[in-house]
Structure 1
Amino acid sequence: MPIREGDTAPNFTLPSQTGQMIEFRQILGEKAIVLYFYPKDDTPGCTTESCAFRDSYTVFQNAGAEVIGISADSPESHSKFATKHQLPFILLSDTGNKVRKLFGVPSTLGVLPGRVTYVIDPQGVVRKIFNSQLNFKGHVEEALKALQGG
């Protein structure tokens, strides 16, 4: 069953772009989490989306949220991607797509990994889900609306 609004987000542990293991439950508490799943590092749509999150990162922080990106790319790929585009947030490597499956992120046409953003409150409850393969900047706009009570 896919995760729905009102559900508690599942716990998971994945390596970041620095190789550090990040446990989801350990970063919850003080801040909301904007968790966005994207298909692949350094592709046009994913770069547009990630850079939109980067450009609004201060706004997210001011709204009391942390941004985290997840794809199946390796920590090394994430490190290059984050450095190249000056991404100030954590990118997690879900190489086996286990967390993608845990959240129930759908694929597009059965092959392309889906692009879904979850806004999760500090208690771990999913408050907003935005699913759009092609509305790259919409993920940022919808997440900000949810954080700002819209």
Structure 2
Amino acid sequence: MTELSAHHVGVTVADLEQAVEFYQDTLGFPVENEFSISGEAFETAVDVEDATGRFAHLDAGGVRVELVEYGPEGEPQTTSSVNCPGAKHLGFSVDDVDSLYESLEGDVEMLSEPQTTETGSRILFVRDPEGNLVELLETS
């Protein structure tokens, strides 16, 4: 059997520039590269007629985050709670969740202040500009 390894975690966004700004400026992930894709092979692979994609790859410290803006844009997926089947979130380790919390701009939507779970981990959930959940995790 062919061995698999992780390549990226992908998030579809409506506004690529705004999403890149959040992940780069707010979370500090540098952009590795940006590119566009179109053509018959891409349309067939993603099963979307006349599909185009604008991509940005960001380095999240060992995990590549792929942000992609598709044309034509489909219907938004609006699962807003983490406990809904099919919900997704991105999780990132942080050395000091409280310091990060204090540094976040007022326009970053947070589900709550940082919390300490029964395992001793400190967690904070925020939403990116597209409403996607992002977990910031400090383990003990």
Question: What TM-score results when the alignment is normalised by the length of structure 1?
Answer: 0.28
Say which structure, 1 or 2, has more relative contact order (CA 8 Å, 6+ apart).
1
Which one has a larger percent strand, Structure 1 or Structure 2? Answer: 2
Larger radius of gyration, structure 1 or 2? 2
